[in-house]
Amino acid sequence: MYTIRSYEKVKTLEEAYELNQKKTSTIIGGGLWLRLGNRAIGTAIDLSELGLDQIEETEDAFIIGCMTSLRTIECHEGLNRYFHGMMGEVMKGIVGTQFRNTATIGGSLYQRFGFSDPLTAFLALDTTVELYHAGEIPMARFVTMDYDRDILVRIRVKKNGGQAAYQSFRNTKTDFPVLTTAVSRADGRWQIAVGARPGRAALVEGTEALAAEPSEEEIRAFAAKASETLVFGSNMRAGKAYRKVLAEVLIERAVRDVLHTAISSER
């Protein structure tokens, strides 16, 4: 639950940035994640008139405005065509359709929630984040940054010609995930992101390349090594030992999905 003292529907990003420098101000986005805690908001800043609720597809990237709803991303033909349905898979488990119609990608990414499905997915892809003050930075750097008063304006997902897949596990449908995993491969280089550990999503370091047509044993060894590099914790949804085992299973599944997509694309 939150309360708002004043409400400003801004006309420019500069106006929004200046208002947001006060500690009692906040960008409201879809307003849904704010309900997770109790807070008194001095000034609620609404970006809805800035045209940031669109997805633009260019020759080399998808550019997604911060006010774009999760549902729009879930159903976007271009994104799902290029990433072989991955975006639909990422979004479909987030609460329900009505929620995803309102929740924005900016709000889902900026707080870097540990349970964020989109954060895990975009971290595994060739993604950059455009901040109003700091400019364009890699998603891998953004994930590790401390919170500040900057504004997430857009994200850019590059078309690097690779394949990607997403896997998650929930105890019950529409609940927060127990673990999330995204895997991508481009030019023979693998990138693995794991979230809901229960901390922020993190990239797996030091993954080695797999053969073009790896054996089942090689895939299992690859997934096991990847899970060994991560730190897991416990919360009400699962213990750290369970999450470690689950990570190995989900990484293995996602790797198989990527390999299957690559074979299908070649046909």
Residues 128, 207 share a domain: no
Whole-angstrom distance between the N-terminal and C-terminal Cα of the chain? Answer: 52
Residue with tokens 């922020």: 200
- Helix, strand, or coil (residue 205): coil
Segment 94-149, tens digit of pLDDT: 999 999 999 999 999 999 999 999 999 999 999 999 999 999 999 999 999 999 99
Domain final residue, candidates 158, 191, 208 = 158
Residues 133, 113 share a domain: yes
Residues β-bridged to residue 4: 41
What is the count of structural domains for the chain?
3
**Are residues 46 and 7 in contact, defined by beta-carbon separation less than 8 angstroms?**
yes
Residues 146, 62 share a domain: yes
* Alpha-carbon separation of residue 104 from 47, 152, 188 (angstroms): 11, 11, 33
245: domain CATH number is 3.30.390.50
- Please tell me which residue, 46 or 212, carries the higher pLDDT value: 46
Residue 207 has pLDDT above 90, yes or no: no
Domain of 66 in residue numbering reads as: 55-158
